[in-house]
């Protein structure tokens, strides 16, 4: 099967874009990921950095990655039930190990668990339109549940939103020291994440996977529409997403990042805007591909996309080593943390380009494929990448 280079580029863009938000999760306490006023106050620099990232990146690149994950499930249907189930089960195991020994912000476990449900829905859908509409309904249900949770949540700012000095010191301690203390805390966070996945986030994740599968099945993610179509749709969707998101950003600023409003009610505009912007980003890549393909950087980003799993884990390895092993945790503000991102990106780009000069796929991708073949009992002979 011939590779879709544009799709690889979009996947690489998603992997690199995810780091814009994850760098905060590596360098600052857990509360800082959604709350820019996590220390009880906020500087103007932190507020503007948060606002810009919220507008262009927060949730958007994760949504784009979920979209592409669903598109991948559609492509995998030809491999059959045993291959897909083995592949996703192994991904879930990898995600669990990632959480347990490295970082609680892992997305692999959630994607694998939801994928184990969604691939059957994708297989059984008769038409791409029905698949797309079901995805939209599931995504909107997730947002509805988010608003319901906000309705029943208590008032005030809990310690998980604005941690006190003792909690900050303890989080610094276990992240830097590691060991069983860190594993215990990650397991606690994992249990909360799984509850959130089952109660609310899983609906949205499933919705985006179905939408991605529908766009792949229709030929949209294969680049089968006109350049003018992709450009027009891209501009329209990104603009729409921004217009939806901006009022939510302003409102969060206005309410002073109050927990009940900002963790629930005002998350809704951001979550609603994310599919528009994510699909819009992909559309712009397809629409301007003749121009983008002229640049060597575009090819390098496509290489990152071909090794998406390897590069995602590589980002964790680099950042946990940098901030936790070298005790740089809580030493930088949001804007300063962004200065680390280009260096990590450079490692992703150079490693991917170098590796793919000699091998057909990334090291983790190769291992994943080999283990999937063994677990499913399906021979790799005669199969394509």
Scan for tokens 């529908």, then name that residue: 214
Rounded to whole angstroms, the Cα distance separating 30 from 181 reads: 16
pLDDT digits (tens, 9 = 90+) for 151-208: 998 777 788 899 999 999 999 999 999 999 999 999 999 999 999 999 999 999 999 9
The interaxial angle of helices 227-254 and 267-287, nearest 10 deg, is: 160
Q: Helix, strand, or coil here: 327?
A: coil
pLDDT digits (tens, 9 = 90+) for 292-301: 999 999 999 9
The residue ranges of DSSP E strands in 84-189, in sequence order, are none
Helix ranges, 255-306 (H): 259-260, 267-287, 289-292, 296-306
Reading the block at residue 12, the tokens are 């690489």
Is the pTM for the entire model greater than 0.85? Answer: yes
Average pLDDT of the residues of the chain: 95
Q: What was the pLDDT predicted at 1? A: 52
327-351 exposure pattern, b = at least 16 Cβ within 10 A, e = fewer: ebbbebbbeebbebbeebbeebbeb
Residue among 95, 57, 68 nearest 11 (CA): 68
Is the pLDDT reported for residue 385 higher than 70?
no
Return phi, psi of residue 318, to 5°: -65, -50
Domain boundaries, the chain: 5-376
Rounded to whole angstroms, the Cα distance separating 119 from 75 reads: 10
Reading the block at residue 47, the tokens are 């507020």
Contacts (Cβ under 8 Å, ≥6 apart) of 193: 104, 110
Is the pLDDT reported for residue 245 higher than 60?
yes
Rounded to whole angstroms, the Cα distance separating 341 from 321 reads: 14
Q: Are 304 and 355 in contact (CB under 8 A)?
A: no
Provide long-range contacts, Cβ within 8 A and 24+ apart, for 319-325: 319/22, 319/23, 319/26, 319/27, 319/344, 320/26, 320/102, 320/103, 322/26, 323/26, 323/27, 324/26, 324/175, 324/176, 324/178
Reading the block at residue 196, the tokens are 């959130």
Q: Would you say how long the chain is, in residues?
A: 385
Rounded to whole angstroms, the Cα distance separating 114 from 198 reads: 9
Cα 354 to chain centroid, rounded: 25
Contacts (Cβ under 8 Å, ≥6 apart) of 213: 70, 71, 73, 74, 118, 122, 125, 131, 135
Q: What was the pLDDT predicted at 382? A: 42
Give the residue, 383 or 158, on which the prediction is more confident. Answer: 158
Q: Which of 129-143, 146-160, 185-199, 248-262 has the lowest mean pLDDT?
A: 146-160
- Distance set, CA 381 to CA 88, 177, 378, 384 (Å): 21, 46, 9, 9
pLDDT tier for residue 3 given thresholds of 50, 70 and 90:
confident
pLDDT digits (tens, 9 = 90+) for 271-304: 999 999 999 999 999 999 999 999 999 999 999 9
């Amino acid at each position: 099967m011939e590779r879709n280079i544009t799709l690889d580029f979009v996947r690489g863009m998603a992997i690199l874009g995810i780091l814009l938000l994850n760098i905060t999760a590596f360098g600052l306490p857990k509360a800082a990921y959604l709350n820019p006023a996590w220390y009880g106050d906020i500087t103007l620099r932190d507020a503007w950095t948060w606002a810009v990232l919220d507008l262009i990146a927060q949730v958007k690149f994760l949504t784009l990655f979920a979209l592409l994950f669903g598109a991948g499930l559609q492509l995998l249907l030809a491999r059959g039930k045993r291959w897909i189930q083995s592949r996703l089960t192994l991904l879930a195991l990898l995600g669990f190990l990632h959480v347990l020994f490295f970082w609680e912000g892992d997305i692999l476990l959630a994607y694998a668990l939801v994928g184990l449900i969604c691939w059957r829905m994708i297989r059984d859908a008769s038409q791409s339109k029905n698949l797309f509409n079901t995805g939209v309904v599931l995504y909107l249900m997730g947002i509805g549940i988010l608003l319901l949770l906000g309705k029943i949540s208590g008032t005030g700012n809990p310690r998980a939103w604005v941690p006190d000095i003792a909690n900050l010191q303890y989080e610094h301690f276990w992240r830097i020291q590691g060991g069983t203390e860190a594993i215990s805390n990650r397991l606690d966070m994992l249990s909360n994440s799984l509850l959130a996945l089952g109660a609310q986030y899983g609906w949205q994740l499933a919705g985006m996977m179905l939408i991605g599968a529908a766009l792949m099945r229709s030929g949209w993610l294969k680049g089968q529409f006109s350049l003018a179509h992709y450009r027009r749709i891209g501009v329209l969707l990104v603009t729409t997403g921004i217009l939806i998101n901006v009022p939510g950003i302003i409102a969060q600023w206005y309410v002073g990042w109050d927990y009940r409003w900002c963790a629930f009610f005002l998350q809704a505009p951001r979550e609603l805007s994310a599919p528009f912007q994510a699909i819009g980003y992909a559309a712009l890549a397809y629409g301007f591909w003749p121009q983008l393909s002229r640049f060597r950087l575009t090819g390098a980003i496509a290489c990152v996309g071909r090794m998406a799993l390897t590069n995602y884990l590589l980002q964790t390895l680099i950042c946990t080593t940098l901030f936790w092993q070298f005790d740089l945790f809580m030493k930088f503000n949001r804007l300063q943390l962004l200065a680390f991102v280009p260096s990590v990106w450079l490692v992703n780009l150079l490693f991917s380009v170098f590796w793919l000069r000699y091998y057909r796929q990334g090291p983790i991708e190769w291992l994943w494929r080999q283990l999937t073949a063994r677990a499913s009992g399906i021979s790799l002979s005669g199969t394509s990448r």
